[in-house]
Structure 1
Amino acid sequence: MKKKIGLLVCMCLCLFCLTACGKKDQTDVDYNGYTYDQLKTACQNTVQQLEEMSDEDMQKYLASGDDITVGMVSGWQESRKDLGNFEGFGDCEVVKSGKTLTAAQTVNYEKRPLVLTYVFNYNSMEVTDVTVDQVYTTGEKMSKAGLNTLICIVTVFVVLIVICLVIYAFRIIPFLEKKFRKEKEVPADGAQKAVEQIEKMEEKKDDLELVAVIAAAIAAATGTSTDDFVVRSIKRRR
C-alpha cells in the first residue's frame, strides 16, 4: 500500500515538473516580430495619451468615423469617469489564442482598476479592436448576477400576470357585447316610436280631410250648411 502511495506522489511531482518546464515566460516570447515590452509600452502609451487628452480632442476622435478609435475613446469615457486619480500601471498580460493576440494592461485608480486591451490579428499584427473595461470584485460580480436573475424572474411573473389578465378578459367580452347591443337597441326603439307618432299624425290628417268631404257632401244633398251638423266619429270598415 505504501509503495502505491509513493508511486502516485512521484507521478504527480513528475507531471508538475513537466508542466513548469513546458510553460514559457511571456516576456521572452517573440510575438510575430514584436516583444512583450513593445506590446506593453504600446498599451501604456495609449493610456497616457487618453489621460492627457482634452474633451475637445476626444470629440474630434469620436467624430473621426474610425470604428476602432471611436470604440476606444467612448469606452474610455464610459469606464474612466468617477474612478478618482491615476495611481499607476499594474500587470500587462499578453496571450496568443489561435490567430488572435491580446495585450491587456491593468491601470490602477483610486476606486477600482481598469483594463485596456489591444486585440491583434496575429498573422498581420493589425489592431482589430481596443477595449476599456472596469475590473469588478467577485462580490460585485455576484451582486450583478443576482440582480440580473431577479430582473428575469420579475419579468417572467409580469408576463404571466398579463397573460392571465388577457385570458380573464375573454370572460368579460360577452357581457360587453350584450351591453353594446342594448345601447344600440335603445335608439332603434326611439326611432320606431317616432315613426308610429308620424303615422298617427298622418292618419289624423286623413280623417280630418275625410270629415270635411263628407260634411260637404251631406250639406249639398240636404241643401243645408255644414254649420248645422257635426261629425262625431268615423268608423272604417276593412
Structure 2
Amino acid sequence: MNQMLKKASTTCAAFACAASLIFSGAAVVWADGEIDETVKNQIETYAEGLTDEIIGLSDDQIEQYMESDDAFTSSAMTAWDGTKDDLGELKETGDVEIEYSGDEYTAVIPVEFEKEDAEFTYVFDKNLTPTSLAVDIQYSFGTTMKNAALNTLMGIGTVFVILAMLIFLISLFKYIPGSGAQQVKKKKEEAAAPAPAPVPVAAAPVQEETDNSELIAVIAAAIAASEGTTTDGFVVRSIRKINRKKR
C-alpha cells in the first residue's frame, strides 16, 4: 500500500514538474506555425510518454490524481476517467502532430483502442509546461448510426408517452363538475333519450245522437201518415236494423 502511494505521489509530481525539468531553457519563441526541431522532438517524447503513463493508471490511482492540487493533473485525470470505459484496451499509438499558435503548443496524439479510437490533445504554454488535456473519442460510422437510432427511438418513445399522459388527463375532465365535458355528456344523454309519446287526441264525437233523432222523426211521421193520425199518439223509442238473409 505504501509503495502504491509512493508511486502515485511520484507520478503526480511528474505531471506537474516534468515539463520544467525536461524543457528547462529549451523554449524558444517563434512565429505562428514555426517550431524549432529540437523543441518539437522534446514535446513529442514527453506527450507520448505521458499518454502511455495515463492509459496505464489503475482506477485507484486515477481517483487519487483527481484530488490533486495541481490543475493540469486533476483536469487530465477527469478527462481520461470520463472516456476510458468507452475505449477499451490500448492497441496502438500513432504519430504526434504539433502546432504552434498564440504562444501555445498543441500536440495531438491519435490512439487506437479495442472499442473506439481517440485523440489525446495536449496544450503547452510557451515555457513548454502542460496546461490542459482533452480526450476526444473518434466514434466509428457504425457506432454513430447506432447512437443516432437509439436517440431517435428514445425521442419517439418520449413523444408517445407524453401523448398517452395527455389523453389520460383529458379523459378525467368528464369527472370535473361544471366542465365543458360534463355539459357535452348531458347533451348527448338528452339526445339519446327516447322522445315522449304523443298525447292521443280525442276523436270528435259521432253525431249519432243527432242523426238518430232525425231518423226517428221521419219514421214517426211515416207511421202517423199510414195510420191517419198524428205523431202525438205514439213514441218511437228505438230503431233496430234487421239483417235479412238474401234469397
Q: Normalised by the shorter chain, which TM-score bucket? A: 0.3 to 0.5
> Which is greater in Rg?
2
Alignment TM-score, normalising by the size of structure 2: 0.46
Alignment TM-score, normalising by the size of structure 1: 0.48
Greater RCO (CA < 8 Å, at least 6 residues apart)? 2
Structure with the largest fraction of helix: 1
